[in-house]
Chains A and B, each alone.
Chain A
Amino acid sequence: MSWFKRVKEGITTSTSDKKSVPDGLWHKCSRCKKATLSSDHAVNKYVCMHCNYHDKIGSREYFEVIFDEGTCKELYSNIKPTDPLEFKDTKAYKDRLAETIKKTGMEDALRVGVGNVDGLPLVIACMDFGFIGGSMGSVVGEKIARAIDYGRENRIPVMIISKSGGARMMEAAFSLMQMAKTSAKLALLGQAGVPYISLLTDPTTGGVTASFAMLGDINIAEPEALIGFAGPRVIRETIGKDLPKGFQSSEFLLEHGFVDIIVPRTELKQKLSTLLHLWAEKPMAV
């Protein structure tokens, strides 16, 4: 749940900022600091052409990367957050919500879209890290639950894209119970025989890892993502020494058997298309 520091990173590279940048301006990689034309960066699916760093992108960009142009329909955008506990830390949750909504133009940390991938339908619930660290509260849980129900009722495969620091503390036990809620819905989806794809991106930690993110019929990770249950800081403090290099990375999870495949974002759509075609037993368009 170390979203605090990360929120700030998220905001500086937020999707709305990028959108407002006119074509021709340069994108500076947050890892290697090298510059790329913004338009080229978008064409390369927001992956650095110099060092392969996968930018933390939001739901709009993922829908653009995955869905066939003009096929995406957003669902359940009318579901909005409240402040059930009147939570207040150094700031009131109500104010934090209002500010974040204003800053990001989003209502909460997840969007649901249904669209086509090379002509085959897919439901995607995608987390937005720019909204309070992609934390899971009631809205995220409810939208995921409905996305899964939509897939089950219409027999369309479901994908959840995780990018989150975990459960949202300001909704306390309400957030915790979203783990049970989303997992129960996935149990029903499984019983109906509709496939579920989990895409794990940087970062996926806490209650998100301990629920839907780890429950994919196929777990796909983006390269070099941080994926874990306990945050690295907590583990470091607990064991009192530095963590081994590559610990809790996508590659580490693949090696330990918790991820099926690591797919660079530039190849993501193609890989999803192959899977959907295999499952539907439809020939791939050449």
Chain B
Amino acid sequence: MAHFDFEKPIQELEDQLKKVREVADKGKIDVTASIKELEEKIITTKRELYSNLNGWQRVQISRHPDRPYTLDYVENCFENFVEMHGDRNVKDDKAMVGGFASINGKTVMVIGHQKGRNTKQRQYRNFGMPNPEGYRKALRLMKLAEKLNKPIITFIDTPGASPGLEAEERGQGEAIAKNLLEMSVLKVPVICIIIGEGASGGALGIGVGDKVMMMENTWYSVISPESCSSILWRSWEHKEKAADALKLTANDMLKNKLIDGIIQEPLGGAHENPTEAYQIMKQEIDKMLAELCAKKSDELITSRIEKFSAMGAFTE
């Protein structure tokens, strides 16, 4: 498993543990006590380390190549997924997936950004950066869910909407804008969960919901720390400073009332124990669905719009 620089203290302890175990295997000395002590130390070190990560460290974890992606959650938290394709206009966008599925016997529409794991898959998924047809596919599925009165769950994980000639020709701005407008008045419950990267309009384009949640090790902001650094500091070197300045962590976003809650991750991040991450995710979704499905649709719309209208900081 790949380790980040800031995980060095853990790696050192794990190396020590490995050595002690080797001694144990030779069977000459009883090292049960030191093994137990080291194991406990690893856990407390991890707890301390992962609860005090800074912005840039969270960004790194959010991009870990072994982190579960949308289709991993779909496969492990839902049943009977029927994937649907295309925006009925131009083509099928592979960076945006969606379809009907059930969770605890309840039918929902699941939609999300999709990244790939190897070079070929990453290209196939356009690095999780949708084109306009991706946002239009998402909207088509959301309107269908509204028609059939099924709740919507979106998984957000994108480094941004795709920048390119075709994206501009086909109206990337219009596609995202339309989703923001339409999502704000959807008559069914909408749950949006940031599972990795939440970069700017590309994330928000499927991010207007009754519950907007961030997993513990994700980020959400108006720009990536790298791009922010290159524009404001005119160099790529200041990404760590930019990550801090942007206040892009789940804790900061909750404190600023820009999200509704945080979904805990297994110790060390979702990639360290995906099974546990799926369990937590499923429980959280169940809980939110139960709460939101009890509300009338005009109540949902009114409080959704009021929530977003209250976002902002100014004096008067």
CB < 8 Å A-B pair total: 198
Q: Determine if A239 and B165 form an interchain contact, defined as CB atoms under 8 angstroms apart.
A: yes
Instruction: Give Cα A210 to B203, complex, Å.
Output: 12
Instruction: Give Cα A81 to B309, complex, Å.
Output: 16
Query: Interface with B: A27-35, A42-50, A226-234, A265-273, which one?
Result: A226-234
- In the complex, chain A residues 157-214 whose Cβ is within 8 Å of any chain B Cβ: 167-169, 171-181, 183-188, 190-191, 206-207, 209-214
Cβ of A215: which chain B residues have Cβ within 8 Å of it?
177-178, 181
Instruction: Give Cα A238 to B178, complex, Å.
Output: 25
How many whole Å from A16's CB to the nearest CB in chain B?
Answer: 23
Q: Is the interface of B mostly helix, strand, loop or mixed?
A: helix
How many whole Å from B7's CB to the nearest CB in chain A?
Answer: 27
Cβ of B57: which chain A residues have Cβ within 8 Å of it?
none
Are A177 and B232 also in contact (CB < 8 A) when A209-B177, A235-B163 are? no
Question: Is A138 in contact with chain B by the CB < 8 A criterion?
Answer: yes
Instruction: Give Cα A225 to B30, complex, Å.
Output: 78
How many whole Å from A89's CB to the nearest CB in chain B?
Answer: 4
Cβ of B35: which chain A residues have Cβ within 8 Å of it?
none
- In the complex, chain B residues 174-217 whose Cβ is within 8 Å of any chain A Cβ: 174, 176-178, 180-182, 184-185, 200-201, 204-205, 207-208
Question: Is B264 in contact with chain A by the CB < 8 A criterion?
Answer: no
The answer, among B173, B180, B181, B313, for a CB contact under 8 Å with A228, is B173
Closest to A207 in B: B201
Are A84 and B185 also in contact (CB < 8 A) when A235-B163, A258-B171 are? no
Per-residue CB contact flags for chain A residues 55-81 toward chain B (1 = under 8 Å, else 0) read 000000000000000000000001111
Instruction: Give Cα A81 to B316, complex, Å.
Output: 9
The answer, among A174, A176, A185, A186, for a CB contact under 8 Å with B309, is A185
Instruction: Give Cα A188 to B176, complex, Å.
Output: 18
Query: Interface with B: A18-26, A111-119, A121-129, A139-147, which one?
Result: A139-147
Sample 12 A-B pairs with CB under 8 A, ordered by A number.
Answer: A90-B233, A142-B314, A167-B222, A173-B221, A175-B222, A176-B221, A180-B204, A184-B308, A209-B174, A213-B177, A215-B178, A230-B163
16 extra interface residue pairs, beta carbon distance < 8 Å, beyond A184-B304, A235-B168: A1-B231, A80-B315, A88-B245, A167-B222, A168-B222, A172-B223, A172-B246, A173-B221, A173-B248, A176-B204, A181-B308, A184-B208, A187-B184, A190-B181, A228-B173, A229-B172
Q: Residues on A close to B: CB < 8 A?
A: 1-2, 4, 78-82, 84-85, 87-90, 138-139, 141-142, 145, 167-169, 171-181, 183-188, 190-191, 206-207, 209-215, 228-230, 234-235, 238-239, 243-244, 247-248, 256-258
